[in-house]
Amino acid sequence: MNVTNHTAALPGATIKTRSLRERIRAHFRTRSDEGQSLLEFALCAPILLIVVTGITTFGFTLNNYLVMTNAVNTSAQLLAIIRSSTTITDPCAAAVTAFQNAAPILKTSSLSYSFVLNGTAYTNKTSCTAGAANLVQGQSAQMTVTYPCNLAVYGANLLPSCYLRVQTTEIVQ
């Protein structure tokens, strides 16, 4: 360190001065780090928000799937026992109504239903009046429901062709 001693007006007193380079280096060495944490937060916050939003969106989709699973099980059980009822002439419509009552959080216009009653397929239908004759004791009654999943994170749908599909088969009683 280059320090130059100068004599002051008073005898015996000296003034020490440093070069400009040494003063600048000393200034940067003793500068505080107050803005560093703010800068780190500003860099990490967007990434953290995207991750948290993605987790939340996935959680809503998983909730929809669980609600669908429960509703399809309930509706398929209704199909399995509806054979003995003489008041219900359309088993598919009854199962669709039971599904919609068991899953009120799902948008009904986005749901797609398919049934297989005793080997006869009713694809994308909510009604099958001829299906009552296909409910034979000991045979299978299958119900499949499809619902589009929305994995949008800040307006960008990560999987636009994603569909939740739940299928259950019951034996007709």
pLDDT tens digits, one per residue of 79-112: 999 987 777 889 999 999 999 999 999 999 999 9
Q: What is the mean pLDDT of the segment spanning 157-170?
A: 93
Tokens 């809503």 locate to 60
Mind listing the pLDDT tens digit for each residue in 104-158?
Answer: 999 999 999 999 999 999 998 889 888 888 899 999 999 999 999 988 888 888 8
Classify strands 14-18 and 112-117 as parallel, antiparallel or unpaired.
Answer: unpaired
CB under 8 Å to 142, separation ≥6 — which residues? 76, 115, 116, 117, 167, 168, 169, 170
pLDDT for res 85: 79
Q: Is residue 127 part of a domain?
A: yes
Average pLDDT, the chain: 87
Round to whole Å and give the CA distance between 34 and 136.
Answer: 77
The model carries a pTM of 0.75
The sign one gets for the Cα dihedral 162, 146, 114, 139 is positive
Domain interval for residue 66: 41-171
Burial letters for 131-170: b for 16+ Cβ neighbours within 10 Å, e otherwise? bbebbeeeebbbbbbbbbbbeebeeeeeeeeeebebebeb
- Number of domains making up the chain: 1
Residue 25 in domain:
no
In the 3-class helix/strand/coil scheme, how is 95-126 assigned residue by residue? HHHHHHHHCCCCCHHHCEEEEEECCEEEECCC
CB 142 within 8 A of CB 131: no
- Residue at 9 is within a domain: no
Q: Could you tell me if residue 162 is inside a domain?
A: yes
Residues of the chain above pLDDT 90, percent: 58
Domain-located, residue 159: yes
Q: What is the DSSP string of 59-101?
A: HHHHHHHHHHHHHHHHHHHHHHHGGG-SS-S-HHHHHHHHHHH
pLDDT digits (tens, 9 = 90+) for 9-31: 566 666 667 788 887 777 776 66
d(CA 165, CA 9): 94
Decide if 23 is inside a domain: no
